[in-house]
Structure 1
Amino acid sequence: MKLIIDTDPGIDDAMAIAYAAAAPEIELIGLTTVFGNTHVHQSSRNARFLLDKLGIDAPVAEGAPVAQGADTHAPSEHVHGPEGFGDVTDIPQIGSNHSLSAAEYLVEMARVHKGELVVCAVGPLTNIAAALRLDPEFAQNIARLVIMGGAVYCPGNITPHAEANIYHDPLAADEVFANPPTTVVVGLDVTLRTLYEGADFDGLAEQSADMGGFLRDISKFYLKFYKDVGGLEGCGLHDSTAVIACTHADMFTMVETGLQVVADGPEIGLTRPDPSRPVVHVCCDVDGAGVVDLFTQRVASLP
C-alpha cells in the first residue's frame, strides 16, 4: 500500500512514522507537514530527520503554517517539548524540503498513483482541505483518507468537547467532512484504548537500540504529561493507531455517519454526527491490545 503521512512531528507522530517504515504492507512514499504539535518549519525538520534516521529516501513537502483564518500558531510545547521531541532538543537540519507545497505534492501523487494512494492525516486537516480545493479530482484519485482526529462519542482532550487536531483548524476539518473522499476517522473513541506504558518503551528499546531507544528517550516527556494531566500510566498510540487502521481495518469496529465540526463558540472543535452529510467511517471500537502488540512487533524489527 502506497502511503503519505500528513504530519506534525511530534512524539506520537514519530512513533507512527517509525511504524510505517517497519510495516511490510506499507510503502511510505513521502511526508507532508503541517503546524500543530510544532511550528511547521520544525515539523519539516523533524520529518526529514526521522526519514534519515529510518533510512528512507522519501521527500518532505511543507504545508500550512497556520489554521484557516489565523495568522499565528502556538505549538503544544507542554505536551511535546520545545522542539517536538520532548527533552531531545538538538535535532539536526538534514536535507531540504520538496519544491512543491504539501497540497501540491498530495495532488500530484494522487494523480500519479490514482486509486492506489492512501493519505493518513495525523495533524490538523489544513493541508487536506487545501488539496481538495486545489484539485476537485483529488478526492476521487486517492484510495482513501485516514484521519487521526475527533472525539465523536467521547470527551475531547484539548477541551471537554474537542480533540486537538480538529480543534487546531475546525474550519478545515469541517470543509473536509462536507465533501470527503472515502474516509476513515480514527479518533479518541479508539486511540485512548491503546495505552503504551513506560515498560513498553523500555522493552522496545531493548529490541531496537537505535529507533526504539530514540522513541523511549523522547517518550519520557510525553508520558509525564499523561501522568500529570490525566493520571494515566501510558500514552495513547494516537497516530500509530491511525496508520495501523490503513492496513488492518479488521482490528476496528466502525459506524457510518456524516460528520460536522463546530467552528466557533464554546464547543469549537466538537466533531458530531450529521446525517445530512456524506458518510464517513468512524471507528468506535478497537482491539487495543492487538494494536499495541502489532506496534511493538513491527517497530522492534528496526535497528
Structure 2
Amino acid sequence: MAAKPIIIDCDPGVDDAIALLLAFASPELNLLGITTVAGNVPLSLTAKNARKICELAGRTQIPVYAGCSRPMMRSLTTAEEVHGKTGLEGVDLPEPQMPLQSQHGVDFLIDTLMSSSGEITVATLGPLTNLAIALIKEPRIAAKIPEVVLMGGAISQGNVTASAEFNLYVDPHAAHVMFSSGIKLTMFSLDVTHQVLTTPERLEKIRAIATPVGTAAANLLGHYSSRDAERFEMTGGPLHDPCVIAYLLQPDLFNYRDCYVEIETASELTLGRTVVDLWNSSGRSPNTKVAQTADSERFYQLLTERLAKL
C-alpha cells in the first residue's frame, strides 16, 4: 500500500519530539512537511526544535516551516515548567544545520492542500492556530482535508486549568474554528492520553535501544514524565502527542465514540474547555470521533520497536 501523506503541525515540546520520531520511523506515513506553532515554548524554539529532531533522526530532507507566533486573540501561554526552557529538557542537541523554510507555515498548509486531490491528513500536536488561520485565509482547504487528527481537549479534568487542556486553552478561538469547520476530526484528549503512561519499566526498554535516538528519547521522557507522574499521582507520566501518530499507524490501539464537541471561548473560568456531548444531550449531530480508551501495552510496544529503527 502507498504511504499515507500527512502534514504534522506541532510545538516541540518533548512529547511532540517523540511523536515526530515515531512518524519518522514509520514507512506507512509520507511526511510532506512539518509546520510549527507557538505553544509549549515560543515559535523561535519550536521551529528550532523540530529541526533538531529531524537531524537527530537523519531526516533532514523533511521541510520545516515556522507558522504563527501567537494565538489568534490572546497573549501566548507557554509550558516551560513542563518541557524546560528550551522545550527539550533532558537533552543537549546541537544547533540545527538544516534550513528553516522561508515560506510561512500557514501558506505551506494552504498551497500543499490546495494542490492536492484531497488525500493529505493533518496531524496537529499543539495549539490549532496555524490550521485555523489557514482555514480563514482559504476556506476551500476544508474540502481538501480528509481528516484532522488532534491531541487536545479534556472530557474530565484539564491540565492547565481545572477545565482545560493546554493546547486548546492556548488558542481556544482557533479550536472553535476547527470544531465548527465541518472537517472530519479525531480527538485524543487527556482522558485517553492519561492512560498511556511512561512507567519506569517502559522507559528502560526505550533506554535499552542504546542508539543516539533511543538514548535521547529516554532522556527526554525521563525528565518529562517525572513531573506529571508526581502531579497526577500516576505510575508514570502520560504521553500525549504520540497517540496521534499511533492512531495513524494502528487505529485499533484505541476505542472511540462519535460525539458533538464544542469549545468554550467566553468564560474565563472554563476558557478552552472541550464540551463533549457523550450522551447526545444536545441532539446535535456528532462532529468529532473522540478516543475513549487506549491499549497502552501495545502502544509502547509499537513506540519502542519503531524508535529502535532510527
TM-score bin (small chain): over 0.9
Q: CA deviation at 1:58?
A: 0.9
Task: Give TM-score scaled by structure 2 length.
Answer: 0.91
Inter-partner Cα distance in structure 2 for 1:237 and 1:136? 33
Inter-partner Cα distance in structure 1 for 2:254 and 2:25? 21
Deviation sequence 1:199-222 (CA, Å, 0-9, x none):
322221222411010011122221
What residue is the counterpart of 1:163 in the other structure? 165
What residue is the counterpart of 2:242 in the other structure? 240
SS of match in other structure, 1:75: coil
Deviation sequence 1:16-56 (CA, Å, 0-9, x none):
00000111211112110011111011000000111122121
- Structure 1 residue 66 and structure 2 residue 76: aligned? no
SS of match in other structure, 2:270: coil
What residue is the counterpart of 2:97 in the other structure? 94
Q: CA deviation at 1:116?
A: 1.6
Deviation sequence 1:254-276 (CA, Å, 0-9, x none):
22122111113201111013654
SS of match in other structure, 2:139: coil
Task: Give TM-score scaled by structure 1 length.
Answer: 0.93
- Evaluate the alpha carbon distance shift between residue 144 and residue 208 of structure 1 in structure 2; reply closer, same or farther with a 3 A threshold: farther
- Evaluate the alpha carbon distance shift between residue 90 and residue 25 of structure 1 in structure 2; reply closer, same or farther with a 3 A threshold: closer
What residue is the counterpart of 1:181 in the other structure? 183
Q: Counterpart of 1:41 in structure 2: which amino acid?
A: S
- Evaluate the alpha carbon distance shift between residue 74 and residue 265 of structure 1 in structure 2; reply closer, same or farther with a 3 A threshold: closer
- Structure 1 residue 252 and structure 2 residue 254: aligned? yes
Inter-partner Cα distance in structure 2 for 1:75 and 1:164? 9
Deviation sequence 1:153-196 (CA, Å, 0-9, x none):
x2111112111111111111011101131111111121111111
What residue is the counterpart of 1:291 in the other structure? 299
- Structure 1 residue 269 and structure 2 residue 277: aligned? no
Inter-partner Cα distance in structure 2 for 1:223 and 1:244? 19
Provide the identity percentage.
Answer: 30
CA RMSD of aligned residues (A): 1.7
Deviation sequence 1:56-95 (CA, Å, 0-9, x none):
111111111111113x424211100010111335641323
Q: Counterpart of 1:62 in structure 2: which amino acid?
A: A
Q: Which moved more, 1:112-121 or 1:25-34?
A: 112-121
Inter-partner Cα distance in structure 2 for 1:80 and 1:273? 28
Q: Which moved more, 1:122-131 or 1:246-255?
A: 246-255
Contact 1:204 1:213 in 2 (8 A): yes
SS of match in other structure, 1:137: helix
Inter-partner Cα distance in structure 1 for 2:203 and 2:30? 25
Q: Which moved more, 1:5-14 or 1:128-137?
A: 128-137
Gaps of 5+ in 1: none
Q: CA deviation at 1:278?
A: 5.9
SS of match in other structure, 1:73: coil
Contact 1:178 1:277 in 2 (8 A): no
- Evaluate the alpha carbon distance shift between residue 135 and residue 290 of structure 1 in structure 2; reply closer, same or farther with a 3 A threshold: same
Inter-partner Cα distance in structure 2 for 1:172 and 1:80? 23
Q: Counterpart of 1:67 in structure 2: which amino acid?
A: P
Inter-partner Cα distance in structure 2 for 1:139 and 1:150? 21
